[in-house]
Amino acid sequence: MPFKLVILWTDALVFVLLAAVALFALHVRRHDHLAAPWRKVARSPSGMAAATVLAFFVAIGLADSLHYRPAIAVKDGKAVYAVEVLSVFDKLAERLRTRKATTYSAPLATHRYTKESIELPDGRQVRDYPRLKHGGSHLRDPVADWAPDVARRCLYGIAAGSVIWFVLATLLCAGLARGGATDTDTVWRAIWRGGTEVPWRTVLVTLGVLLAVGSPLVALAAKYHVLGTDKVGQDVFYQALKSIRTGLVIGTLTTLIMLPFAILFGTMAGYFKGWVDDVIQYVYTTLSSIPGVLLIAAAVLVMQVYIENHSEQFETTIQRADFRLFWLCFILGIASWTGLCRLLRGEALKLRESEYIQAAKAFGVSEFRIIARHIVPNVMHVVLISVVLNFSGLVLAEAVLAYVGVGVDPTMTSFGGMINSARLEMARDPMVWWSLAAAFCFMLLMVLSANLFADAVRDAFDPRIRAARPFRLAARKP
Amino acid sequence: MSQERSLLSVRDLRTWLDTGDALVRAVDGVSFDVRRGETFALVGESGCGKSMTALSIMRLLPDAGGVVGGSIELEGTDLLKLPEAQMRHVRGRRVGMIFQEPALSLNPVMTAGEQIAEALRRHTGLAGAALEARVLELLEAVHLPDPARRRHEYPFQLSGGMKQRVMIATALACGPDLLIADEPTTALDVTIQAQVLDLLRELQRTRRMSLMLITHDLGVVAEMAHRVAVMYAGEIVETGAREAFFSRPAHPYSRKLFDSLPSGTKRGGALAVIRGSVPPLTREFTGCRFAERCDAAWDLCRKSTPGLYDAGNGQVARCHLYAPGAAREAGGGRREAEVGGEQRGTSREPRAASREGDQSPVTSHQSLLEVSDLKVHFPVHRGLFKRVVAHVKAVDGVSLTIESGQTLGLVGESGCGKTTVGKGILRLVEPSGGAVLFDGADLARMTRGELRPRRKDVQIIFQDPYSSLNPRMRIMETLEEGMAALGLGADREARQARVDALLAEVGLSPEIKLRYPHEFSGGQRQRIAIARALSVDPRLIVCDEPTSALDVSVQAQILNLLKDLQRRKGLAYLFISHNISVIEFLAHEVAVMYLGRIVERGAVDEVLGDPKHPYTRSLLSAVPVLDPATKRAVIRLQGDLPSPVNPPAGCHFHPRCPDAFARCREGYPGSARFSASHTAACHLYALKRDG
């Protein structure tokens, strides 16, 4: 075998989550009343634009979650695998990963950021900005050729982006035309008139903007360090892309871990009242009075000791880093289930008095069956809203934790790590700003689109928010 | 229309709502006048557009609604053309409004006095002592007890009736010319309703104010209105003076409404029902909107839209029956005859049925359920260690008996504990004392495991058809749940077959079992809830106000269904209701509850025909009746229901009782027996008991 599949803890959970989402989607499709609010989400232009951007992040995150160890040699008929664990994404971005500079260089630079002594071929030494090993190394005369080369590559990128966009748009139209039993042309015109139920125009425009920005970046990345390099010469663009997975994993797995606690305890407290409620309330009141950072710091320290004492369990550094990430998710989950639990308790308190539950009690239906059949399905909208709203908060929390020093493993790239290292870079003279800027832009884009999507979901699911659409009769007066 | 110049004149008002999916023509061409100093009642079932009409007048429509045509003139000024700043001046100052739910229309963080002062400050220049004095004056005008103290109280400290009084005082603060009252008493108890209606009548008379009363309750209309307009599906279908309207309703819809009202005289048979349901207002109509449900409809009704025709007697009806000229000669005469026949038919029907009905009740005299001295006390916890400091005595020693195949009506005001009795019998709340003997076995003392097989015998139907079905479960699953839990039906297929049979039994098509509750109307949901209760073949059903959330015409259908089921299956009902006429129609025996205890019980004719207990008497006298001739001499009760945490010493009723004397304060009266079945707990009859 040319590779050995490595399934890290978080990978496994990510794929379990993916499967769960797929099953849920299948279930929703079959039940009209469940699908109705999702159709409302699909009709929201801002929600769909955000979903398009999120899809891009998720695609990168998933590609970065398929890990393997490549075979480096064959010994005695057995393959020997590299110590380094790579992901599919690493393979795709191999040039970004391997072409390292020595130290800082500015975005798109051909020379290093600071002067150094260079030994000329004739033995003299000068202090100058040395040429980079990879960034713009193909240019014969960097001063004269740089601008035309960058422009040319940008154009190439945009051209390639347009082709991709047209292919995707045509596929979409063809797909819609098949579904709607019309021809592609009609669908195309309907989309641009804004006449489709799902705002495909918004989706296509968002996709266009994404490709217009993304493809020149990718085109340039082949020969330059588009977003510069960091202290050890690693490409910042690559780091930013790698951070996406960390952010996504923290944002989703944490919720996955906390959900069972929150749902079970919340509904039980609300439904049973009495001493069950007292105990659960006592637990979460205590838990939420301990400062979260303190709890997490303590847990991370405990975990570090564990890793050091059981080093045989962790073959590679990435496995260690991953275990730490998993543990962080777990502990964040423990610290954050209380909010949702409170909400669900309130909701269950209200529901337990409702007449259909009284009717079920009159039939002697068992308590846990009532919780499972009557209460949980009726609080799912609260769960869903809080899950999507929590996501962005957790991504941001990771950044804060890294800054405090209890975040993910230093060897694992994350937005928090990038921001943390930028602390020193910003103090340098001349200032190194691109690390922070890259982390900021990527994180902003991800959190903003997650928030917009969460808004669309909340609007669709929250029963209190009715379609408060302003009256649009002016055009329809008889 | 009138010689006298009218205060408010609404012409061809069209208000539409945009639900996002469709346009609802909530008000579609409504015209009416409200004259100075008169009470104008707008009657109709829910969803007919009466509240939307009121909100259009106030220009307080929800965001999704808008007036698309017509005019609303208040003494010559078109309110729809006023800028918002001037409209604010009209609201409160010229036109006041009170809403159905007093609890929701007062700001919970402002005292009663402040809320009134706010309105005064906005519209008048009053300030300081003058303002204070005016607030007090207004609170006195609405007969709020102890106004000097109450004005500083917050809404949660006031009872429902008092809140509505404060609301009325706020609306009256600036002496409006027109008061719009949107279902002002629907959320209140009968005795409180009588007080509030009295107050409105008095204020209207003394201030020569016009009152526009919006209600679904024909009884309230009969007591209050000078003129009546009936709304149906966004249109006014009939207007006329009260006397004319009540003596001879012109429109077939109005007639049907009267026929579908339950009462004691219709007891023997089934109530008339209006078939079908109100058409959705999202579509355009051709022809009469009532044609599909009308017994008197003919071809013309489906083809052309009827205008408002003079029906004689000062009445105007939107019906082809009254079309002038040729139509009247050719079709009308025939119609007239047919309508007459139909009317006779409805009056004949109950008599025919009553003969049949007289034989049907199973008078086996074998008691199915015997509740003795049932107590349900809820502890009140206080302090850090949740010490029990008091008990809410929701049910405090109730005894009753239900024979199989019979209906016991349990009557009382809200908060008297009647629902808790029902739930206590089913152990949905745990009784704190007493015995519930069902077929000889004490349900109150069984363990959960012992109780479970017994659960199939007693079932319950609830009030709110919207919260009684789980919105996330299909009808099939809802109906199957009980059978599965109690192990009825051999397998899924057997249960499925039973579900089909149940739906057919309650008059629904078996195909609907795959649908979700939100697709059904209130009446259909209530039918499904009944089917669910029937799914385990109970012998007793506790009906907890099953029709009080429904419209009159739907109520008639449900009452007929319940009655029919009783006849066919020999079911016994414990029918809990605050609606006396429903009880009168359905029950064989009646028990009247006050503050956790039964004060009077007996056969329905005995209790309702010859009430002994002063509370029963005042309760009955407070019920609005259609025919002023049958109105009982009104006994107005003072004040509200006391708190069940510490009920008054002695007889619980004595602080409100018109006949109370010294002994009533000393001890709770024993019960006096008037016949084999009729008893009442009152000191007035102590001698009778002793002697």
The pLDDT tens digits for A85-121 are 888 998 888 888 888 888 888 888 888 888 888 888 8
Decide which of B316, B334, B358 is a domain's last residue.
Answer: B358
- How far apart, in Å, are the Cα atoms of A250 and each of A286, A352, B114, B625? 24, 34, 52, 68
Alpha-carbon distance of A226 to A238, in angstroms, equals 9
What are the start-end ranges of the H helices in B394-511? 418-425, 448-454, 475-485, 492-505
Residues B232 and B333 in one domain: no
Question: What is the count of structural domains for chain B?
Answer: 4
Which residues in chain A have Cβ-Cβ distances shorter than 8 Å to B19? Answer: 467
Coil, strand or helix: which one is B434? Answer: strand
- Residue A1 belongs to a domain: no
Assess whether pLDDT exceeds 60 at residue A469. Answer: no
A275/B contact by beta carbon, under 8 A: no
Residues B416 and B563 in one domain: yes
B497/A contact by beta carbon, under 8 A: no
A355/B contact by beta carbon, under 8 A: yes
- Average pLDDT value for residue range A117-129: 83
Query: How do residues B42-78 score in pLDDT, each as one tens digit?
Result: 998 888 889 899 999 999 888 888 898 899 999 889 9
| A363 to chain B: closest CA residue | B482
Angle subtended by helix axes A236-272 and A317-351, to nearest 10: 30
Coil, strand or helix: which one is A344? Answer: helix
The whole-angstrom distance between A178's CA and the closest CA on chain B is 26
Tokens 């599965």: give the residue: B484
- What is chain A's length? 478
B11/A contact by beta carbon, under 8 A: no
Alpha-carbon distance of A227 to A213, in angstroms, equals 13
Which residues in chain B have Cβ-Cβ distances shorter than 8 Å to A369? Answer: 485
- Residue B656 belongs to a domain: yes
B563/A contact by beta carbon, under 8 A: no
pLDDT at res. B361: 44
- From the list A243, A253, A395, the residue with the least C-alpha distance to A329 is A253
Residues 15-74 of A with CB under 8 A from B: 32-33
Residues B435 and B546 in one domain: yes
DSSP H or E stretch at residue B581: helix B580-586
| Count of Cβ atoms closer than 10 Å to residue A167 Cβ | 10
Residues B56 and B86 in one domain: yes
Which residues in chain A have Cβ-Cβ distances shorter than 8 Å to B18? Answer: 469, 471-473
Q: How confident is the model at residue A62 (pLDDT cuts 50, 70, 90)?
A: very high
- Average pLDDT value for residue range A38-44: 88
- Whether residues A358 and B423 touch (CB distance < 8 A) is answered with yes
What are the start-end ranges of the H helices in A77-141? 88-92, 94-98
pLDDT at res. A356: 92
| Count of Cβ atoms closer than 10 Å to residue B80 Cβ | 16
Residues B296 and B389 in one domain: no
At position A428, the amino acid (one-letter code) is R
- From the list A44, A94, A306, the residue with the least C-alpha distance to A197 is A44
The whole-angstrom distance between A450's CA and the closest CA on chain B is 26
User: Which of A355, A361, A466 lies closest to B467 in CB terms?
Assistant: A355
Token representation of residue B271: 């109530």
- Residue B153 belongs to a domain: yes
Assess whether pLDDT exceeds 60 at residue A144. Answer: yes
Question: What is the count of structural domains for chain A?
Answer: 1
- Average pLDDT value for residue range B112-117: 91
Residues B312 and B371 in one domain: no
- Residue A245 belongs to a domain: yes
Q: For a pLDDT cut of 70, what percent of chain B falls above it?
A: 92
B20/A contact by beta carbon, under 8 A: yes
Residues B72 and B187 in one domain: yes
Which residues in chain B have Cβ-Cβ distances shorter than 8 Å to A28? Answer: none
Query: How do residues B272-299 score in pLDDT, each as one tens digit?
Result: 888 877 888 888 888 889 988 888 888 8
Which residues in chain B have Cβ-Cβ distances shorter than 8 Å to A355? Answer: 462-464, 467-468
User: Which of A358, A364, A471 lies closest to B64 in CB terms?
Assistant: A471
Query: How do residues B578-636 score in pLDDT, each as one tens digit?
Result: 888 899 999 999 999 998 999 999 999 999 989 999 999 999 988 888 876 776 677 77
Assess whether pLDDT exceeds 80 at residue A195. Answer: no
B471/A contact by beta carbon, under 8 A: yes
Sheet holding B39-43, edge to edge: B95-98, B178-182, B210-215, B39-43, B227-232, B235-241, B316-317, B309-310
- Whether residues B66 and A473 touch (CB distance < 8 A) is answered with yes
Strand duo B679-681 + A86-87: pairing: unpaired
Decide which of B174, B198, B215 is a domain's last residue.
Answer: B174
A470/B contact by beta carbon, under 8 A: yes
- How far apart, in Å, are the Cα atoms of B18 and each of A468, B15, B26? 10, 10, 10
Residues B348 and B371 in one domain: no
Query: How do residues A162-187 score in pLDDT, each as one tens digit?
Result: 999 999 999 998 888 888 778 888 88
- Residue B513 belongs to a domain: no
pLDDT at res. A477: 42
Q: Which domain holds residue B74?
A: 1-94+176-247
Strand duo B367-382 + B433-438: pairing: antiparallel
Which residues in chain B have Cβ-Cβ distances shorter than 8 Å to A469? Answer: 18, 20, 63-64
**What single-letter DSSP state applies at residue B641?**
P
The whole-angstrom distance between A393's CA and the closest CA on chain B is 30
Chain CA centroid to CA B370, Å? 30
Residue B247 has phi, psi (to 5 degrees) of -85, -30
- Residue A102 belongs to a domain: no
pLDDT at res. B24: 86
Q: How confident is the model at residue B350 (pLDDT cuts 50, 70, 90)?
A: very low
* Cβ atoms of residues B404 and B417 within 8 Å: no
Handedness of CA A402, A407, A408, A411 (dihedral sign): positive
Residues B89 and B197 in one domain: yes
Q: Is B29 left (phi over 0), alpha (psi -120 to 50) or beta?
A: left
Residues B427 and B373 in one domain: yes
CATH number, position A286: 1.10.3720.10
**What single-letter DSSP state applies at residue B271?**
P
Query: How do residues B146-192 score in pLDDT, each as one tens digit?
Result: 888 888 999 888 888 888 889 989 988 888 999 999 988 887 888 88
Q: How confident is the model at residue B1 (pLDDT cuts 50, 70, 90)?
A: very low
Q: Is A376 left (phi over 0), alpha (psi -120 to 50) or beta?
A: alpha
Q: How confident is the model at residue A209 (pLDDT cuts 50, 70, 90)?
A: very high
Burial of B589 (0-12, 13-18, 19+ CB in 10 A): buried
Interface test with B, best of A30, A272, A358 (most B CBs within 10 A): A358
Residues B386 and B291 in one domain: no
The whole-angstrom distance between A476's CA and the closest CA on chain B is 9
Alpha-carbon distance of B541 to B534, in angstroms, equals 9
- From the list B89, B236, B115, the residue with the least C-alpha distance to B168 is B115
* Cβ atoms of residues B413 and B578 within 8 Å: yes
**DSSP per position, B204-232:** HHHHT-EEEEEES-HHHHHHH-SEEEEEE
CATH number, position B182: 3.40.50.300
Which of the pair, A402 or B562, is modelled with greater confidence? Answer: B562
- Whether residues A469 and B518 touch (CB distance < 8 A) is answered with no
- Residue A443 belongs to a domain: yes
* Cβ atoms of residues B672 and B679 within 8 Å: yes
Which residues in chain B have Cβ-Cβ distances shorter than 8 Å to A373? Answer: 470, 473, 481
Q: Which domain holds residue A262?
A: 236-461
Which residues in chain A have Cβ-Cβ distances shorter than 8 Å to B479? Answer: none
Residues 208-247 of A with CB under 8 A from B: none
Please state, rounded to an integer, the average pLDDT across all residues of chain B.
85
What are the start-end ranges of the H helices in B360-491? 418-425, 448-454, 475-485
| Count of Cβ atoms closer than 10 Å to residue B167 Cβ | 27
- Residue B521 belongs to a domain: no
Handedness of CA A71, A72, A75, A80 (dihedral sign): negative
Residues B639 and B664 in one domain: yes
pTM flag (> 0.95): no
At position A14, the amino acid (one-letter code) is V
| B532 to chain A: closest CA residue | A359
- Residue B44 belongs to a domain: yes
Coil, strand or helix: which one is A211? Answer: helix
Which residues in chain A have Cβ-Cβ distances shorter than 8 Å to B468? Answer: 354-356, 359
Number of H helices, E strands in chain A: 17, 6
Decide which of B174, B194, B226 is a domain's last residue.
Answer: B174
Interface test with A, best of B23, B469, B481 (most A CBs within 10 A): B481
The whole-angstrom distance between A204's CA and the closest CA on chain B is 25
Query: How do residues B479-488 score in pLDDT, each as one tens digit?
Result: 999 898 888 8
The whole-angstrom distance between A29's CA and the closest CA on chain B is 15
Token representation of residue B442: 């004490």
What are the start-end ranges of the H helices in B388-441? 418-425
